[in-house]
Chains A and B, each alone.
Chain A
Amino acid sequence: MQTILQRIGQTIPVLLGISLIVFLLMHLTPGDPVETMLAGVGHVSEADIAAMRHELGLDRPLVEQYLSFLMGLLKGDWGTSIRSQAPVRELIMERLPATIELTLAAIFVSLLISIPAGVLSAVRRYSFVDKLSTLGALVGVSMPDFWLGLVLILVFSVGLGWLPGGVRLAFDMVAPPAVTGFLLIDSLLAWNWSAFWGALRHLALPAIALGAPMAALTMRVTRSSMLEVVRQDYITFAKAKGLAEWAVVGKHALRNALIPTITVVALNMGVLLGGNMIIERIFSWPGLGQLVVDSIRTYDYPVVQMAVLLYALTYVAMNLLADLMYIRLNPRVRV
């Protein structure tokens, strides 16, 4: 229990550090952040600049600004986008479901590839399959995800015409009413099969492009933890009892090897979240990643700040979760 509290306690300075970096991002800009921010807006007068400076609180001391930034965060006041004048919270919330849907699909794809491959190479250690999947994993981590995305579009969309190479739904299709924002769920709720099928097809290529590097990472972990588990006594015992090899693997080994695999997925959330930026751009996916890139390019700092904050918090939460899971499963561990 104390370990758990200690672990949670460690996140507090990290959270403060994150908020400080996010806050300072705007102040790192050489020159005047307000003028830079207003650059894309059009006709700007001195009065507009002064008003904006005041609105952003830039006329106050830095410490005071930081504190009010923190207070704003706690109160749920996320500011207003400079580019679109819309509340940042609204912009992010609009984009969030698309990104979560894609990320979950990518995790699904990566587990779909990595678990069978990892199990197979552990059970048939040093076989051809093992070597092939080890090399495959190495290629997977060495491949630029944006290039993989382009190649997938080139082959399956431009070349073969099997799968769509962008956006969430065909342009001539009416999206089901947005209840959850997740197209797959919304189309099921609306009993709209063609939308469901369309959304699924649109999800395929980006999910593969985003999930492949992750699959490469998790495959190795599945393999090595399977090896460890397979070596353990109870497995040998089960085998000795005469249980078929696959039954042993399926029932005992896999169950125990899954935990490290899932932990690795959680710990590598950063790879997925960072990959989102690129993959969403290539597949014109209307998610948070594209919003961040666009906002960075147009110096829309209020949006950048909140989106980056959200990414960092997700990462911290996933890490905490993975650690807590680990502590729970191995009570002897001291962090």
Chain B
Amino acid sequence: MRRGVLGLVAFLILSLSAVGFAGDKTLVIGFDDDLITLDPADFSHRQTEAMLRQVFEGVSTYTPDREIVMELAESIEEVDSTTYEIKVRQGVEFHDGSPLTAKDVAFSINRLIQDGAMAGRTSQRRGLLGPTKEAVVVDDYTVHVKLANPWPLFPRFIPWQMIVPRSVGDDYITKPIGTGPFVFEEWVRDSHFSVTRNDRYWGRKPKVDRVVFRVIGDESARVSALRSGEIDIATFAPVHEIPSLKRDPQIDVVSVMGTRSYFLEMNVNKPPFNDIRVRQAMNYAIDIDTAINVLYEGQATRIPFILSPQAFAYHDGLNKYEYDPQKAKELLAEAGYPKGFSFELDVVDTHRARAEIYQAMLSVVGIQAKIRTWPTWGAARDAWMQAKGRPVDEQRDAFLNDWGNASLDPFDIFIPKFHSDASGLGRGNFTGYSNGEVDELLEATLTSASDSKREAAFIAAQEIVHGQVPMVFEFVAHEIYGVNRRILNWRPSPDSRIHINLLGVDLK
């Protein structure tokens, strides 16, 4: 017995004196998902982007206020309608000590657009560079980017790409070497991704020594870890935890309007959704405001179309359907479905609750939604794509879906969702919506040099599509972060990136 007590005391003393904890200024961020890859050209995934962006930089970047600032470029200028000139910053070094030159910048851009440039694989991010054809080195610090056709969006989309050293060659990147304010330390799959301060950083040096991104998929666990002080920032905190987080004197709750739009897509070629009155009835029968209150406790903003109120060319004159089950019933009767109808509603497993709410709302007007859950978004998307080529009665009915629009430009949400070419520009067109006039308007925005012309085209297209109601338009959800008060200067960004050095984040 005595020996046991002594042992315990010794043990406790040892545990207190041990140096198990990380260095002084370590910022720990609890993330909902792991990185997919360490190669900055091979993902389309926000979490991966947020982590890799600590190590890699772009020629330019977006701030949390959605302004574009230069990063590795000193300037990006239009030379002519199909050529942009990038002046590369001088005196910048990669983490391996090699200097950054125009060759690295050109290499990085070409790596994104050439077939099989990454050990045989082609970048998934190519689509974000539109008609970019080639980057050529002009001199040590000048690059010319050639476009296949005029594309005035280039300066707005190049900030999404990261610059890698040309020594990468044909390889797939498994050890990230960038120019950023932090140096890659280690990635332990499904555990953490960590970086340390780059003391030779060309710009303002980071105030924190180390940043650890912890993968905590379970949202309750993420919030618990924030409460216990194990992590400093919890991303995507669930709304139902907000009240208790707000009561905690150590924790701030901050939120930002996200860039993901939610909607219910109806197959406009398949009965009964081929009748516009049925689609209108669906919009009248679903009470979006109540859904927002139930699912997000008000932390979401209703939208009349698929664009976020913050997006370029947002049309604020479009009407939102007010909840009116009576009107829905009348429209259904007019369309020949006085007793309603039944259809299959596809939904990704994680959006079960949303589907169940709509199911209950629709049943009030006699519409029976049979929910079909899919384990992943990809599986559901695939089912739609496979069914697309078949006769209309074998196609899927409706999909409770969402689409991210980090650029907040209609370019990567409006066009993929409503252009009729489902294998090309309209790669996300699940509704089967097809309208020649809309196609023309959307294509015009790709080459138009002036903002006002693009805006006018998008506005006109929105009016047409909105009038034909191919979807039940829902909302943009807010992203909620729990932050320990010892963190200074940090605030969230609508594109889910985590800015640390840009904001001068420090620890108390």
Chain A interfacial positions (CB closer than 8 Å to B): 31, 35-36, 38-43, 84-86, 91, 94, 157-158, 165-167, 170-175, 192-195, 197-198, 284, 286, 297-299
Contact = CB atoms under 8 A, between A and B. Distances in A.
A174 to B, nearest CB: 5
Contacts of B217: 284
Contacts of A84: 36-37, 189
Nearest to A195: B20
Contact of B44 (A42, A170, A173, A299): A42
B280 to A, nearest CB: 32
Interface stretch (B10-18, B444-452, B460-468): B10-18
11 contacts: A35-B386, A40-B376, A42-B124, A86-B189, A157-B224, A171-B212, A171-B214, A171-B230, A173-B22, A284-B216, A298-B375
Given A84-B36, A157-B224, A166-B218, A41 B15 contact: no
Question: Which of B22, B28, B30, B191 has the most chain A CB within a 10 Å cutoff?
Answer: B191
B20 A173 contact: yes
Interface string B465-498: 0000000000000000000000000000000000
Interface string B371-396: 00001111101100010000000000
A39 B381 CA distance: 7
B378 A284 contact: no
Nearest to A95: B190
A43 B20 contact: no
B203 interface: no
B171 to A, nearest CB: 14
B386 A171 contact: no
B28 A39 contact: no
Contacts of B381: 39
A195 to B, nearest CB: 5
Q: Is the interface of A mostly helix, strand, loop or mixed?
A: loop
Contacts of A91: 189
Question: Which of A31, A40, A172 has the most chain B CB within a 10 Å cutoff?
Answer: A172
A34 to B, nearest CB: 11
Interface string B172-198: 000000000000000011110000000
Contacts of A38: 382
B148 interface: no
B379 A36 contact: yes
B21 A172 contact: yes
A167 B30 CA distance: 13
Nearest to A191: B18
A188 B127 CA distance: 50
Contacts of B231: 171-172
Given A43-B127, A94-B189, A194-B18, A171 B28 contact: yes
Contacts of B28: 171-172
B378 A39 contact: yes
B37 A31 contact: no
A222 B504 CA distance: 63
B158 interface: no
B18 A193 contact: yes
A299 B21 contact: no
A86 B188 CA distance: 13
Question: Which of B22, B26, B189 has the most chain A CB within a 10 Å cutoff?
Answer: B189
Contacts of A298: 375-376, 378-379
Nearest to B229: A172
B117 interface: no
B225 interface: yes
A195 B216 CA distance: 19
Contacts of A31: 386
A193 B127 contact: no
Contact of A39 (B20, B216, B376): B376
A172 B224 contact: no
B375 A297 contact: yes
Given A172-B21, A194-B15, A284-B216, A165 B221 contact: yes
A198 B15 CA distance: 9
Given A39-B376, A157-B224, A297-B375, A194 B20 contact: yes
Question: Which of B15, B212, B231 has the most chain A CB within a 10 Å cutoff?
Answer: B15
Contact of B37 (A85, A158, A195, A284): A85
A299 B190 CA distance: 18
Nearest to B225: A171
Nearest to B383: A39
A35 B216 contact: no
Nearest to A38: B382
Contacts of B221: 165-167, 284
B378 A41 contact: yes
Contacts of B230: 170-173
A31 B385 CA distance: 13
B26 A172 contact: yes
Leading 8 A-B pairs by shortest Cβ distance: A40-B378, A39-B382, A194-B20, A297-B375, A39-B378, A171-B230, A194-B18, A193-B14
Nearest to B26: A172
A40 B21 contact: no
Contact of B191 (A35, A165, A192, A286): A286
A170 to B, nearest CB: 5
B187 to A, nearest CB: 11
Contacts of B386: 31, 35
Given A166-B221, A193-B14, A286-B191, A171 B379 contact: no
Interface in B94-129: 124, 127
Question: Which of B15, B20, B188, B382 has the most chain A CB within a 10 Å cutoff?
Answer: B20
Given A39-B378, A39-B379, A157-B224, A192 B22 contact: no
A166 to B, nearest CB: 5
Nearest to B226: A171
Given A94-B189, A298-B378, 12 more contacts: A36-B382, A39-B379, A43-B427, A86-B189, A166-B221, A171-B225, A172-B229, A172-B230, A173-B230, A192-B20, A195-B20, A198-B20
Contacts of B229: 172
A41 B378 CA distance: 7
A274 to B, nearest CB: 19
A171 B221 CA distance: 11
Contacts of B15: 193-194, 197
B22 A174 contact: yes
A194 B228 CA distance: 17
Contacts of B212: 171
A159 to B, nearest CB: 12
Interface in B348-390: 375-379, 381-382, 386
